Amino acid sequence: MKRRNFIRNAAGGVMLAGSGGVAALAMPVEATNSNRAKFTLKYAPTLGMFTQHAGKDPIDHLKFIADQGFRAAYDLGMIGRTPEEQEKIANEARKLGLELGQFSLKTAGGTHFVLNNTSVRDMLKAKMQAGLEVQKRTGINKGLIVLGNVDPKLHIEYQTANVIENLRICCDVVGNAGLELVMEPLNTLVNHPGVFLTRTTQAKMICVAVNHPSCKMVNDLYHQQVTEGNLIPNLEACWDYIGSIHVGDNPGRNEPTSGEINYKFIFRYLKNRRYDEVISLEHGQSQPGKEGETAVIKAYREVDPQ
């Protein structure tokens, strides 16, 4: 499934507007009154994950997320919202004690990072500047980047060299502002055929070569289960360069306990590692409707380490 379709279908879309969540919030969620205790780890639902309970308004979503004991939230489409809405969401999150996770810098699509091209670099610089503006308004310090597709007409070594140079240019733009650029390896077998960045080993090598504190990598456990497995050893091997962790079970890309990944063991590892960053819930739900949303919350209660 394409990223844009996944976000639209599983998370209700990144461009959310309107209200309609007040009545839903007034109704207690089945079996969630016992879920008010804070989660141990910073699991971050999207601002569209619980539309059956909270409607489509992002503020109502934040309130519902906090009420269920989550400590974080995220919105990949934050950069596409108006400045006023960005500030409103950030202010509400602060009031609720929620940390806001990464937003997308909208670098996906086509061959761009793999090219030695002036127009591409100008485009990337503009996106980094836009990201800095979002950071100033919201305090969010992580911007997600996707390196795009391979160029079949260019040797992979040249493409890798171009990626490294382009990332250095991006890091020069963000400078010392504290905005981490987290690049995400994606799987080609199910969701993203043709992408350049697929493996944790590849991402770590690029981080080492770029050699800038703003250059980090995402470990999306769903994508990496599809691509390479060996999840905890690869987390350990890349630990110093991991800027973000994404969650989704496999097969299906739904909530933990719906597939083959032992998230209870992984989350215990992260707790023992004292991991205190936002963990993005980039998945759908294995059951439809309101009951499916409740099942997502219950699944995280089940696997959350005590």
Q: What are the pLDDT digits (tens) for 55-94?
A: 999 999 999 999 999 999 999 999 999 999 999 999 999 9
pTM value is: 0.88
Q: Which residue type sits at 110?
A: G
Instruction: State the average pLDDT over residues 292-299.
Output: 98
Residue 42 pLDDT greater than 80, yes or no: yes
- Cis, peptide link before residue 58, omega less than 30° from 0: no
Q: Return the CATH number of 3-303, one of 3.40.50.1220, 3.40.50.300, 2.40.110.10, 3.20.20.150.
A: 3.20.20.150
E strands, the chain, are 42-44, 72-73, 99-100, 103-104, 142-145, 180-183, 215-220, 242-247, 278-281
Quick one: 111 exposed, middle or buried, by C-beta within 10 A (0-12, 13-18, 19+)? Answer: buried
Angle at 181 between CA 104 and CA 158, to 5 degrees: 105
User: pLDDT tier at 2 (50, 70, 90 boundaries)?
Assistant: very low
What does the alpha-carbon distance between residue 39 and residue 21 come to, in Å, rounded to a whole number?
Answer: 23
State percent of the chain over pLDDT 70.
89
Instruction: State the average pLDDT over residues 5-9.
Output: 42
User: pLDDT tier at 43 (50, 70, 90 boundaries)?
Assistant: very high
Give the burial string for 270-285 (b: 16+ CB within 10 Å, else e): beeeebebbbbbbbbb
Quick one: 209 exposed, middle or buried, by C-beta within 10 A (0-12, 13-18, 19+)? Answer: middle
Instruction: State the average pLDDT over residues 216-239.
Output: 98
What does the alpha-carbon distance between residue 78 and residue 164 come to, in Å, rounded to a whole number?
Answer: 26
User: pLDDT tier at 36 (50, 70, 90 boundaries)?
Assistant: confident
DSSP letter at 28 equals P
